[in-house]
Every structure is written in structure tokens, then in C-alpha cells.
Amino acid sequence: MTVIILLFLPLLGALATLLFKGGTAKNVALLFAVAEFAIALVFLSKFIPDATSQFGVNWAWIERYGIHFKAGIDGISMVLVLLTTLLIPIIILSTFKHDYKNPNAFYALVLFMQAGLLLVFTALDGFLFYVGWEAALIPIYFICTLWGGGDRVRINLKFFIYTFAGSLFMLLGIIYLYTQNPARTFDLHDFYALHLSAHQQSFIFWAFFLAFAIKMPVFPFHTWQPDTYTEAPSAGTMLLSGIMLKMGIYGVIRWLIPISPLGFSQWGPTAIVLAVIGIVYASLIAFNQKDGKRLIAYSSIAHVGLIAAGIFAWDIQGIQGAMIQMLNHGINVVGLFFIMDIISRRLNTRDIDALGGIAKVAPKFAIAFLIIVLGTVALPLTNGFIGEFLLLYGVYQYDIFLSAVAGLTIILGAVYMLRMYKKVMHGEGNALTALFTDITGYERVVLGIICALILIIGVYPQCILHLSEASVRDLIEQVNHKKLISVK
């Protein structure tokens, strides 16, 4: 059993979905997405949580240029594979009340994007990684452009230019590593073994960092995100925030720091300061947002800033916090955007000031919303707590002052998220919100799954942490060893 089945089943699903029209297309897409998650669970059941890469495939692809279709799953990849295969069926199910024009094309693009995301998270060849990186960008661009809001063309052009420009810098970095590799391959482990000068590694650091920082996004490379999240269709926003931004976080852990440890030593302090600035900046702007979807977008920037800070602290606590928080953030932010989608569909507005008193007419909805908010603000025994605790602990060991500033994300986040919840759920009702109906059918299923995950992971986070611990420790040891050799 190899990773190849995970990579090609979504492509098969995308082709099959194109053959069906209307509501049948969404059912076929959901069927393939659930099947993909079931296969991921089979991989999980057979996975040994050590530092090795498992379920690997290594085919000569363009052998003349040292390009191989090489992919596998270790503990770091496994968390991202679970995230992707878990959220895609949830996102597809969340769209069942939407009537999209050309639904077969819409759902085929979602599955095609899933294949690109999984290729990014499992690729062990630089060329293959880049192919997956671009393959995931193309479908989300069309999803946002064809099914987005009124200003979608201008905003998504900005998004495409930002991300494509960052990708070109990364491509330059990959080509440069290939030219420096005596084996003339794009193999990730060959890249790890290169002995580049500090100057060369600084170039590699920035070539990769620009691509990854734009995708996450990290301040000041974030300006595409709030507009794109707001104008994208709800499913597109969930894909972007729940999974796609994790490509940048994963890239830093898997590619940037291990390949250029000296560049990281030189420029890592700058990167962690940018991440911490982004936390405070996005949190303060979130306070002034009247559009619920836009508030969540800025909240996402703040939370991802903390994840980035934990990574650049580069210790076991910070990296492990980043691993579990990537999963937690994906679950929570998809839940929040689905909450806003329900409100928008029922009331045709996301204006927080126009809402109020919904809890009185929709108690089940109010409970689900509260659980998701509590997970987002990292209440103990919810999923967000352990991730943010480990991240702050990691940053604390790096620098106590930066840890204090980064910790503002919890305080500020609790204020603006709970204030939003109070206004929307318990504020004064009006003629508009009196018409709000409680969740039913598939809405209860989606929110039920999300709430259950928030509580289960919050009570027993070790079920996720043990998957990645050995791989994270091994990667940290490799980087530290490479630094020592380079110094000598």
C-alpha cells in the first residue's frame, strides 16, 4: 500500500464528478471525499509513529534531469494528510444548501485541489513539491473567481499575483539547489545534505520564505487575505483558511529551515518578529470589523502568526505546538466560516451590528457556535488550548518578551470573538433575526462533527501529538547537527 492511492483517487473523483449534473455532482464528490478519508484512516492504522518515511513511492519521472515521482508519509506529513482528508468532505457537505452554477465543475475543482494539497504534504522531490504547490493554486483561483462575490475578479487577480510571484522565488531556490547538488537530483534528502555557505543559505532562506510567508500569510505579506476570504464563496474561504495556508507552514518546517539552517540562524529572528507583529496588528484590526467573515479572516492572520512564531523559535514545544495547531486551526476556522455562511444564507447579511438575539430562536445553533468560539480562544479542554500553550512555551524559551507580546493573541482574541458572539447571539433581537431558524439536517451533522473534534482533541491531544513527535525531534536534531558542522 503506497501513498499513490491517496494522490490519484481525488483526481479520479474529479473526473467522475464532471460526468454528472446538478445535485448528483455534489453527492459523487462527497462519496469520493469520504472514501479518501477512509483510506487515510487505513494509512493511519498502519502508520508507525517513528521518524521514518512510510508508504513511499519512488518512480523515475524525467530521469534525464533527475526528477522523480518520490513521495511518502512521516509523522509530520500524516497530520497534514489527516487535516486535508478530514476537512474536504466536511467542506463539501457544508455546501449542500448552495445552488452553484455548473456544480460539477465546482466540485471537480475542489477534488482536484485536494490532490494538489496532498502532493505538497507528501512530496519528497523538489520538482514534485513545486508541481503540487501550483496544482493547488489553480483550482482555488477558479473557485474564487467564478463563484465569488461582486468584486471577485479584481481581488482574486491580486491573490493570484501575490501567490504566483512567491512561487517563482521558490522555483528559483529549487533550481539553484539542483545546480548545487552533485547528484543532479531534486531529492529532498540530497538537498538536506548540501553544504552551502552562509551567503548561499541566506538566498535560499528568502527564496523559500517569500513563497511560504505569502501563503500563510505573515505580516506584511498578508494584504491579499482579508479581501480574498471575504469575496470567496464560503467553500473557497474554508479551503483557503482551513487547509491551503497550512502549505506555507508545512513548507517552513519541511523545506526552508532544514535546507538552510545558517540562513535561518541569520534571518530567523527577523521572521519571528514579523510573525509577532502580525499577531498584534491583525488582532487590533479585528476589533473594528463589522463584517463577521472579515473579522474571522483577521483572526486567522493572528492565529497563524502565533503558529509561525512557534516554528521560528525552533524547539520541540514550538514545532509540536505548530503541528497540532495546524489541525486545530483548520477545524475551528472552517467551523467559524460555516457559522457565518449559515447566518448569511438565512438573513442575507454578515453585519454584526444588524444581528442579535439569535440564541433565543436557535438554541442548538447557539451552543455549536459557542463551542467553536471557545475552541478558537483556547479555553482549557478545547482543542485550541494545548496548541497555543505549546506555541507560547516554545516562544517563551526563545525570548520572554516576544512570548509576552505573542500571548496577546489569546487575550485580544478572546475579547473580539466573545464580543462578536455576545452581539450576534445575545444582543437585542430584531425583526430580521426573529426569522432565524435553528440548524437542521446536514448543518447539524457538520457542526456536530466539528464540535466533537474540538472537545475530543481538547481532552486527549496526545492522539495527535504522538504522530509527529519522533519526526519533529529527528528534524530538529538534523538541523542542529548541520549547524554544528557548518560552524566547524
The continuous run of DSSP H or E covering 73 comes out as strand 67-73
DSSP H or E stretch at residue 383? helix 383-398
pLDDT at 186: 93
CA dist 64 and 412 (Å) reads: 54
Mean pLDDT value of segment 303-322: 93
What mean pLDDT is predicted for residues 127-132?
A: 95
Rounded (10°) angle between helices 261-287 and 292-313: 150
DSSP 8-state assignment for residue 20: -
Across 201-209, average pLDDT:
93
Share of the chain above pLDDT 70, in %: 99
Bond into 217 cis (ω within 30): yes
pTM: 0.93
Per-chain mean pLDDT for the chain:
90
The half-sphere exposure of 78 on its side-chain side, counting CA atoms within 13 A, is: 29
pLDDT higher than threshold 90 for residue 369: yes
161-185 burial string, b = 16+ CB within 10 Å, else e? ebbeebbebbbebbeebbeebeeeb
pLDDT in the model for residue 71: 95
Residue 354 has pLDDT above 70, yes or no: yes
Nearest C-alpha neighbor of 30 from the set 148, 110, 84, 101: 110
Q: Within 13 A of 50's CA, how many CA atoms are on the CB side? A: 5
Q: Are 397 and 272 in contact (CB under 8 A)?
A: no
Q: What pLDDT is attached to residue 262?
A: 92
Average pLDDT over residues 183-210: 92
What pLDDT, on the 0 to 100 scale, is given for residue 223?
79
Instruction: Give the pLDDT band of residue 21 (cuts 50, 70, 90).
Output: confident
> Residue 326: its pLDDT value, please?
94
Interval 427-455: pLDDT, tens: 787 888 888 899 988 999 999 999 999 99
Say what the pLDDT of residue 68 is: 93
488 pLDDT higher than 80: no
Q: Report yes or no: 57 and 73 within 8 Å, Cβ to Cβ.
A: no
* Confidence label for 173 from pLDDT (cuts 50, 70 and 90): very high
Q: What is the pLDDT of residues 241-276, one digit of tens each?
A: 999 999 999 999 999 999 999 999 999 899 999 999
All residues at 6 or more sequence positions from 282 whose CB lies less than 8 Å from its CB, including other chains: 219, 222, 298, 299, 300, 301, 302, 305
- Which helix H or strand E contains 62, and what residues bound it? strand 54-62
Domain ranges of the chain: 4-487
Query: What is the C-alpha radius of gyration for the chain, rounded to an integer number of angstroms?
Result: 21
State the average pLDDT over residues 415-431. Answer: 88
- Only one residue has cell 430562536, namely 361
Q: What confidence score (pLDDT) does residue 105 get?
A: 92
Residue with cell 505548530: 322
C-alpha cell at 465: 501529538
**Cα dist. 346→97, 100, 172, 362 in Å?**
11, 17, 48, 12
Residue that wins the pLDDT comparison between 483 and 393: 393
Cell of 297: 479572516
pLDDT at residue 487 greater than cutoff 60: no
Grid coordinates of 380: 482549557
DSSP string across 125-159: BHHHHHHHHHHHHHHHHHHHHHHS-TTHHHHHHHH
Angle at 28 between CA 24 and CA 32, to 5 degrees: 170
C-alpha 174/C-alpha 178 separation (Å) is 6
- Distance (Å, whole) CA 208 – CA 5: 29
Contacts 24+ apart (CB under 8 A), 57-60: 57/2, 57/3, 57/4, 58/124
Q: Mean pLDDT across the stretch 327-348?
A: 93
| Widest distance between CA atoms in the chain | 73
Reported as a pLDDT band with limits 50, 70 and 90, residue 486 is: low
State pLDDT tens for residues 386-400: 999 999 999 999 889
Q: How many CB atoms lie within 10 A of CB 316?
A: 15
Average pLDDT on 45-72 reads 91
Quote the CA–CA distance of 412 and 279 in Å, as a whole number.
10
